[in-house]
Amino acid sequence: MKIPLCIPDIGTEELDAITETISSGWLCHGEKNSEFEEAFKNLLGVDHAISMNSCTSALQLAIECADIRGEIIVPSFTWVASANAIINAKATPIFADINETSFTLNPKSIESLITPSTEAIMPVHYAGQMADMTEIKKIAEKNSLYIVEDSAETIGGEHCGKQAGSFGTGCFSFFPTKNITVGEGGMLTTNDSEIANRVKCVMAHGINKTAPEQQSKNKPWRRIASDIGYNFRLTNFQAAMGVVQMDKLESMNSKRIKNAELYNGLLSEKDNIITPVVVPGNKHVYQMYTIRLKNPELRDSLVLHLKSIGIEASVHFDPPLHQMEPYRNGEYIRADLSVTDNVCESIVTLPMYPQLGQQEIEFICEAILDYLHS
């Protein structure tokens, strides 16, 4: 049996929406972007949602357009895009440790890292579960720090009834492994109109279409750059796919949660396996399903064994950022990152997607248990 790590849930509705939009002749940023953004605003209950070409672009502009150029506290246990975006925005990542059960930014690790140069906190919501935003927001407000939520893996996740991306400036990914996909794409969410307006300008070559000088009826072709910018826009036909995916989000997330419950029922601590812990007050939407082995020495061989029999298991994330060449130097590392080190040596990512069936989950779990007990 061949079981991939992830399969995006794409049906005829997405194909029809893409075909219709391409047939309209309007391929670049257009009306479907506005429709996609409106659906996102309604989900999160925020004032602004801005679609763009990637979550990495959203992260970079969330920092750049808030004029953050100092230190940003971020977990080392994340995909490299989190730190890359900070560097590309001309700020400095400072690595914090994670919580041992949720694998998200530990608020206790944050406070010891705050200096006069600290300007922001970037919590990374992991695998479908949010960080402790209640405590992180308290720390941010106490120290006048900006919050950028890396919500790439947690579309539809909640903390205390509030959606991921609604506590600060939210940044989302629509890569094929995420809870919804448009192939490649991202979204930035915020309640700050000033940041939203600047993001819209900078993501489109620095041209502010709402500026008075752009509105000349006699010269409608005028496009005047008011800022240094990029081309970070999302296409109209990708946004059309996003509109359909948003309609399916609740159903797809429900299937992920059901699949996680099946996994949890078949794997347990008696088998030296630690299954995901859902923190009280959180809604976990399982962008990934990750387990930990109590015996880390078996991790690598287990993953390779599963791959050898057709189960596409993986590891997210090993190595952590502070072990990678660009980020090893002492400038970025001040905290004890021992929890991060321990987690990255013992964690395993198992297949997770809405179409994953009970028979497949049973096959995966049987293969794991057979291997660990052999």
Q: For residue 99, give the CATH number of its domain.
A: 3.40.640.10
- Same domain, yes or no: 70 and 166: yes
CB 3 within 8 A of CB 347: no
Q: Residue 162: inside a domain, yes or no?
A: yes
- Same domain, yes or no: 231 and 320: no
- Same domain, yes or no: 229 and 358: no
pLDDT number for residue 210:
63
pLDDT number for residue 214:
55
Q: Is 284 helix (H, G, I), strand (E, B) or coil?
A: coil
- Same domain, yes or no: 239 and 275: no
Domain that holds residue 297: 250-373
CA dihedral 272, 278, 284, 286 (to 10 degrees): 0
Q: What is the largest CA-CA distance in the chain?
A: 80
- Same domain, yes or no: 197 and 208: yes
Q: Residue 7: inside a domain, yes or no?
A: no
The count of structural domains within the chain is 2
- Same domain, yes or no: 45 and 151: yes
- Same domain, yes or no: 96 and 192: yes
Q: Residue 4: inside a domain, yes or no?
A: no
DSSP of 160-229, one letter per residue?
Answer: TTEETTSSSEEEEE--TTSSS--SS-EEEEES-HHHHHHHHHHTBTTB-TTSGGG--SS-TT---B-S--
pTM: 0.97
Among 238, 147, 146, residue whose Cα is nearest residue 187: 238
- Same domain, yes or no: 237 and 267: no
- Same domain, yes or no: 214 and 90: yes
pLDDT digits (tens, 9 = 90+) for 186-204: 999 999 999 999 999 999 9
pLDDT number for residue 208:
83
Q: Give 3-state DSSP helix, strand, coil % of the chain, rounded to 5.
A: 40, 15, 45
Among 248, 272, 296, residue at a domain's last position: 248
Among 248, 266, 281, residue at a domain's last position: 248
- Same domain, yes or no: 219 and 340: no
Cα–Cα distance, 341 to 36 (Å, whole number)? 39
Residue 323 is part of a domain; what is its CATH number?
A: 3.90.1150.10
Which residues of the chain register pLDDT less than 50? none
- Same domain, yes or no: 281 and 318: yes
Q: Residue 304: inside a domain, yes or no?
A: yes
- Same domain, yes or no: 241 and 254: no
pLDDT number for residue 215:
56
pLDDT number for residue 217:
66
